[in-house]
Amino acid sequence: MSAIDGLRLVGPPGSNRVMTGELSRLVRRALGGFRLSEPRKAGTGALVYPFDRDLALVAASYCRTASRVLWDLYESWAERLEPLHDELVADVAADARGWLWDGASFSIRPRNLGDFPAAALQLVGAVKNAIIEGARSRGLEVRIDLDRPDVLLAVRRHDQALTVSVDLGGRSLHQRGYRAESGEAPLRENLAAVLVMLARHDARRELLLDPVAGSGTIAIEAALMGRAEPLWSGGRAPAALDLPAFTGLAPREQPLFGDTEPLVIANEIDTPTVAAARGNAQAAGAGAWVQTLHGDFRDLSRARVDKIAASAGRAGQGGLILGNPPYGARLRQGDPVPLYRDLGHWCRQFVGWRAAFLVANRDFPDAFGGRPRIVKPLRNGNQPSVFYLYDL
């Protein structure tokens, strides 16, 4: 095993480009003249940068497209438990980077270990014992705590290498904490942020309209991303700030683009879900920028949208329609094709706008009509889906 020093961003498959774009935008505003290196791609949903604690705190505090922000510590190409254990003991014993301290507790989150020639429980046990022994040789007594660890470690295999990393968020970053209620098959928050980035929404110059908003996740993420609001609120902070390596750094608690005033319209037909969307927007701190409408999108006219824009001082601006239309179990009346056909017809009243949708139904493009400018496969949880972007 060998000590490494990388900052790893993990997102949905196919999200490398948007994670790169989002982090670049955040760093330019948060760190001024900081020179962001070109990342190494580790698959289609992971980027690795040289570790820097200021960069790491910005990523763990603001990056909405990532699901995890990790500090890569050790890497091993060993194929047996004994040499893996011995290498890791030696590396931890020699490591003074400040990710562990006397009395600290830790737990291990294993991922993608299936090709290691030992059972996952045995591998996790070897890593656990090696960390305890290596820390003890430095005079540090550390312990396992499965429920509330001080340090969450990620252990994963990729390209035959085993990597041990600290999870700088302390949990998945898609768990924002604002979604008290959700509709059927809710979209993960970080995937919603990926859609906003793929559609290239500019919150300063254009409206965003979700005609099938559900519990409001896309609308909320668009508003908060436009302002680069921090992920953590209500007294919470990323786990990175508990590490000795981050001593002296203050929490990132202010929006990076606080001068941006997004205008987002979330339209939903289901009455209980509309109430949930409004509550979620308030809980997320996005209530000032998200207007929630109750009704069928077919009845929402361009004139009404223009009136909302004018009342907000945004008359004449362009716009983006972005949504995740229902399909399968989410569509109580069965066949979604008529809905997709109506959606395409409705969108074309917004001449000069763009329209983008994440859909898990192969009939969508023919029913919607027109030729998409972008067709990108994505996964919505375990559901294969496709992102379509149209010029209207």
Give residue limits of the domains in the chain: 2-167, 189-245+252-391
Q: What are the φ and ψ backbone dihedral angles of 87, each rounded to 5 degrees?
A: -65, -45
- Confidence (pLDDT) at 184: 62
pLDDT (tens place) for every residue of the chain, 392 residues total: 688 999 999 999 999 999 999 999 999 999 988 999 999 998 889 999 999 999 999 999 999 999 999 999 999 998 899 999 999 999 999 999 999 999 999 999 998 887 787 888 899 999 999 999 999 999 999 999 999 999 999 999 888 889 999 999 999 998 888 877 655 667 999 999 999 999 999 999 999 999 999 999 999 999 999 999 999 876 678 999 999 999 999 999 999 999 999 999 999 999 999 999 999 999 999 999 999 999 999 999 999 999 999 999 999 899 999 999 987 545 555 789 999 999 999 999 999 999 999 999 999 999 999 999 999 999 888 889 999 999 99
Torsion of CA 202, 13, 180, 226, to 10 degrees: -10
**pLDDT tens-place string over residues 271-283:** 999 999 999 999 9
| 189-245+252-391: in CATH 3.40.50.620 | no
Q: Considering only CA atoms, which of 310, 363, 318, 315 is closest in space to residue 336?
A: 363
Please, are residues 238 and 57 in contact by the beta-carbon 8 Å criterion?
A: yes
Backbone φ, ψ for residue 260 (5° rounding) = -90, 135
β-bridge pairing 46-50 and 40-41: antiparallel
- DSSP class of residue 93 equals H
Query: What is the pTM assigned to this prediction?
Result: 0.93
Fold of 2-167: VC0802-like (3.30.2130)
CA distance 87 to 89: 6
Residue 144 contacts residue 152 (beta carbons within 8 Å): no
Beta strand 68-76 with 161-167 is: antiparallel
Answer yes or no: are the C-beta atoms of 99 and 151 closer than 8 Å: yes
What pLDDT sits at residue 260?
A: 96
DSSP-assigned states of every residue in 270-316: -HHHHHHHHHHHHHTT-TTTEEEEES-GGG--HHHHHHHHHHTT-TT
